[in-house]
Amino acid sequence: MQGAQVALGAVADLVHVIAGRDRNAARLPRLHLDRPRFAVGVQLEELLFQLAIHHEIEAVALSVVVDRARLSGPPADQNEFEVLVLADRIARVPRLVEFVAAAAIERRQVHALREGHHFVPRQRGVDPPGAFEDSFAQFQQHPASMREKRGEFNRMRPMRVFISADMEGITGVCHRDHLLAGNPDYERARRWLTSDINAAVQGAVDAGATEVVVADGHATMRNILLEELHPQAQLLCGPANTRNRQLVQLAGLEPGRFDCAMLVGYHTRAGTPGGLLAHTWVGMAVHEIRLQGKPAGEALLNAAILGDYGIPVVFATGADDFEREVKADLGDDLEVAVVKRTLGPSGVISLSLAAASELIRAGAKRGTAARRAALTTAAPVAIELDFHRREMCDQAAEMAGSKIGERSLRFEGDSVVAAVELLWRALSHALREEGSFLK
């Protein structure tokens, strides 16, 4: 809870500054960290709300809360992250002061008219006697009105979406010839990939997204056609060697940076019976990966990494076998667009690009608008990696991990991110001559 305490300490400092010129500041609600995580978040949001309404604090002053909190580093748990995001949610709304001041004046004017009094807006930084008590009483009597205003704040704030894109689960893809440069159908499959991504981007925009970052997460990680990419998307690309992308298919993450994430074109994990193009990260090396003892595919691993940053996965696309896996791992309430039906390891019945785009766009819009919790993984985190061959395991152990079997390594960390970074360094080292996808 260190980061949360720093955030709340920054709020307290701000209250003390106000209290030096306004006796009413001492009456602001107290925060209790022993409450459930959502209750703590609501308390912080309410306190910031009261500060803004009753003291007209500049948005830049509220941002001090976030800046101070970030000095403590990444959040340690979901509770802590939600506190930081709720602070950031208010601090980064430029029109906050103007909006809440107008709302407060409007409420007080209505109240005054009802009581037969003439309301005179107070001067900046000066509260008439009893103003705080009067306004807070109105809030208690009309909580629905305040919730509506808070909803308007949320609609005004930027919404940032992260999309991690793979290729095996893309519409029409069924064979390795679709997946790697130099094969006959690769260039066609790149257009299908870009088409599915564009549909997901449009769905996010339809739901109010103001920024969408698309991370190319397949093989060379240079597959998406930039010239055909949705104009409101930004492209993150480049190989997943340990110099560029220590989190494999993800990069550019930080607390508060994104509101939600999507997994587009994903597939089932290594060892899935009859799974379409099934593998986990490096098919030529990895027999199985387990997160906290549970077999994990790329969707679960990436959702856990995103969860470390408090980013929930709200939407995914792929084949029907992937849908079964991802819902088992992340919950039946996850919005999934099934673009093809798996017949076997290299056979599908696929939707057309047009039909898939319509399905993906609608699902992405619903997913972005939905409220889902980020996946949380309790520390300490242990990830186990089984290799196909003993020689690869031995070579990987030279870099990181502890051997737990002839072909198995164990990686431990205080977070999923820390454990995955160790795993990826070891796995990359196991490929003595780096494969083309790492160059």
Domains of the chain: residue spans and CATH: 1-156 (no CATH), 160-376 (3.40.50.10780)
Local structure of 34: helix, strand or coil = coil
Q: What is the arrangement of strands in the sheet containing 294-295, beginning at the earlier edge strand?
A: 294-295, 286-291, 381-387, 408-413, 402-405
The b/e string for 251-268 (b: 16+ C-beta within 10 A; e otherwise) is: bebebbebbbbbbbbbbb
Q: How many CB atoms lie within 10 A of CB 39?
A: 14
Q: CB neighbours of 136 closer than 8 A, spacing ≥ 6?
A: 27, 50
pLDDT for 78 equals 47
Please, are residues 56 and 102 in contact by the beta-carbon 8 Å criterion? no
If the chain, 439 residues long, is cut into consecutive pieces of 10 residues, what is the mean pLDDT of each piece?
Answer: 47 46 43 43 51 44 41 45 47 42 48 50 42 46 49 61 98 97 95 98 96 96 97 94 88 87 98 97 96 98 96 97 98 97 98 98 96 92 97 96 97 96 95 54
pLDDT of 254 reads 80
Comparing CA positions, the residue from 75, 28, 46 lying closest to residue 307 is 75
Query: Are 344 and 268 in contact, with CB atoms under 8 Å apart?
Result: no
The alpha carbon of residue 181 and the mean position of all alpha carbons in its chain are separated, in whole angstroms, by 31
Q: What pLDDT was estimated at residue 256?
A: 80
**pLDDT for residue 213:** 97
Give CA angle at 315 (346, 210), nearest 5°.
130
First to last CA, the chain: 40
Q: What is the pLDDT of residue 130?
A: 47
Strands 313-319 and 335-344: parallel
Closest CA to 54 of 31, 32, 8, 22: 22
Q: Give the span between the Cα atoms of 234 and 188, in whole angstroms.
A: 22
Using alpha carbons only, what angle is made at residue 312 by residues 246 and 192, rounded to the nearest 5 degrees?
70
Tokens 């919730």 belong to residue: 147
Strand positions, DSSP E, 217-283: 233-236, 260-266
Closest to 171 (Cα-Cα) out of 90, 107, 265 = 265
The DSSP line for 64-130 is HHHHHHHTT-S-SSHHHHHHHHHHHHHHT-TTHHHHHHHHHHHHHHHHHHHHT----PPPTT-PPTT
Helix (H), strand (E) at residue 352: none
Residue 92: count of CB within 10 angstroms of its CB: 15
What pLDDT sits at residue 115?
A: 53
